[in-house]
Structure 1
């Protein structure tokens, strides 16, 4: 009992002393500081900034949704009519995937989807369609920027050491004039488009895209040469005609539905075929060389069989004779034109075969090292 009484006496005065602590007696010095309103102001400013940020995000989202089209630009009616059932199903799946999913994933699309671009889209799988659309959009933006930069440069005079160089328009006009001159005086180089593809429906568009790119490189690279070929495209249907008119631009070329047998003497015709056993020794200006418009992925001897069926000569480039045991003798359409052009100008096969890709010569290097 005495212990409890003693503790009570000690604790009770301490609690009474706490009420009269010296710090509390000097509270009058800090009466001007009010903390609660400051906290309220900070919270209000944070709330306003949060609301402003959320409003900005909503505006950006609304802008994106407004800029993104609700559906993909449709192709032409002729293109849709040319699709079979499986291709039409693939086309509808791509459109539905964009409207339901890709449009909300910020996948940007070009302003115009031509029939060529639709062929590329339908020639790939659904998993790659979104990436291809984005790449098309990026290419369109880059093309627009190059056009703007080109217009900006054309305003300035191209001067080096106070010597004015010919403008790009003048160089382009000179290239076109050389192509016109080749149509009258240059040697003919015939491209035969009379082949039908046996590939799958999804691969047909891919092969057409490869042929289009290779022929475009052929036409423009040939026109830039000093003495270009007279390019003749025979056995051309309507779809190939529109493609050739698109890729040639202002460069003159010959496009005809007739066959090479109706245009040239059979004795002058020489079909270039990688499956032939005869090597081409020299370039003969009196001969007319024919190139079959099939991709380098085709492994069947279609060109050799066609030459034998029509009773004309066939030959091949002596690639293995000068470059050794290469992995393949198949070249693209533009590479064939480049090889013939250098052979015509120089007469040297080693100079002409520099257009053969280096990757085809790996086997030769391995055999030499071993």
Structure 2
């Protein structure tokens, strides 16, 4: 639902010709759009500087007039949040993709959470740049010191150079460059493509995930590939049902830019795994079945669902495996692990891959399941933490719901005594006796 209300500032209306954010004057009643309704805040002091914006509204909104109008309001709302002290990134950090993501948020709180997330990313980038700049300066100082020592130190003869044993002089060890190590790891994957066991990751769930979940899923796929490279006996990875127009695939290419190169040791298929492998060899790993993987089969092609289900927790992998008539199984988590109270049993894609890698080599489930996070398992420390969290939530709820009336005796309230007799019979008789005595006197 698009915004239909207007934000009133020092200007009368938001016209179509507005391309910059108006000045926020000092000491005025700040009006912000809060969940579709106008809410008046207290008087605040704001900067009178004109914020710099370089937004192409038409390009971001693809020419949609309603989206352009909504984008202008969101831009105003973002500046108001910044002036109000909220965690909002700098204007130069916000790219068109960020504005498009803000357009998809239906509430102000969701937009504020997303802006807070971008603010933290911005600060991480700034810290990273500051550290790299500090390292660069230290390296320049080191080189200058070396040059100074070289200028003051007399030149070494050939005999002295041969007799001096150090990394930069005579040494029996060869230097291993990063490219050499990368070639070694890639060579392992090439051998796995020729002779290794296959492992399939189903990328066909991109439509069932939000943009944030697609990004997290792509990161988990990158970690899975990295862990597989480091394994002594890696899998031959196959990413099937890949849609090159999906957010998941685009994010994956951002994490692994050379994944599409023909020489790169990663198999990405736009077709289904049914078109690549025999159906009788496929086993879909899903947590929604009862049958467990008792023993690891080296001839089986296991399928892992490439999905992050933080929002939609429906058994999508179970439904897909049933629809395609595939064999299904789950990891023996309940048989070998004691789960803690209130902990979910969901694992990330790279954690499932690491478990399968260790099980392939060792054949010991107790050893392979070490990749399950310890916080999810039962222990005295985790149990005490869970009790503390539950107690803290309960105490907060009790404080919120604490009656304001304190120690009030409800039995003495008038509306509780309406059904009781107003007068006591003995008291009425005593009053009558007193009146008779008064007349007799």
Q: TM over 0.5: same fold? A: yes
SS at match of 1:274: coil
| Range moving further from structure 2, 354-363 or 257-266 | 354-363
Matched, 1:232 2:217: no
1:265 CA displacement: 0.1
| Range moving further from structure 2, 204-213 or 254-263 | 204-213
TM-score for the superposition, normalised by structure 2: 0.56
Residue 117 of structure 2 is aligned with which of 120, 123, 132?
A: 132
| 1:293-308 → structure 2 map (5 Å cutoff) | 293-297=306-310, 298-308=312-322
**d(CA) in 1 for partners of 2:225, 2:175:** 25
Which residue in the other structure is 1:214 paired with?
220
SS at match of 2:377: helix
**d(CA) in 2 for partners of 1:224, 1:75:** 46
Return closer, same or farther for 1:330/1:99 CA change in 2, 3 Å cut-off.
closer
For structure 1, the residue ranges without an aligned partner over 5 or more in a row are 1-64
TM-score for the superposition, normalised by structure 1: 0.65
Q: Which has the higher contact order (CA 8 A, sep 6+)?
A: 1
Return closer, same or farther for 1:284/1:160 CA change in 2, 3 Å cut-off.
farther
Matched, 1:96 2:104: no
Query: Which is helix-richer, 1 or 2?
Result: 1
**d(CA) in 2 for partners of 1:186, 1:151:** 46
SS at match of 2:284: strand
1:131 CA displacement: 2.7
Which residue in the other structure is 1:181 paired with?
191
Matched, 1:356 2:364: no
**d(CA) in 2 for partners of 1:247, 1:76:** 29
Residue 313 of structure 1 is aligned with which of 327, 336, 341?
A: 327
Which residue in the other structure is 2:433 paired with?
none
**d(CA) in 2 for partners of 1:82, 1:346:** 58
1:263 CA displacement: 0.8
Residue 195 of structure 1 is aligned with which of 201, 205, 208?
A: 205
CA RMSD of aligned residues (A): 4.1
1:119 CA displacement: 7.2
SS at match of 2:303: strand
Answer yes or no: is the 8 Å Cα contact 2:53–2:91 preserved in 1.
no
Count of aligned pairs = 293
Superposed CA offset, 1:268-299 (max 9, x none):
00000001111112222211111112214343
Which residue in the other structure is 1:258 paired with?
271
Answer yes or no: is the 8 Å Cα contact 2:61–2:100 preserved in 1.
no
Return closer, same or farther for 1:346/1:205 CA change in 2, 3 Å cut-off.
same
**d(CA) in 1 for partners of 2:61, 2:193:** 37
For structure 2, the residue ranges without an aligned partner over 5 or more in a row are 1-48, 144-165, 385-441
**d(CA) in 2 for partners of 1:210, 1:192:** 15
SS at match of 1:362: coil
**d(CA) in 1 for partners of 2:132, 2:89:** 21
**d(CA) in 2 for partners of 1:255, 1:329:** 29
Residue 257 of structure 2 is aligned with which of 246, 249, 254?
A: 249
**d(CA) in 1 for partners of 2:168, 2:316:** 52
Matched, 1:109 2:90: yes
Superposed CA offset, 1:120-140 (max 9, x none):
766672333443232122222
Answer yes or no: is the 8 Å Cα contact 1:189–1:231 preserved in 2.
yes
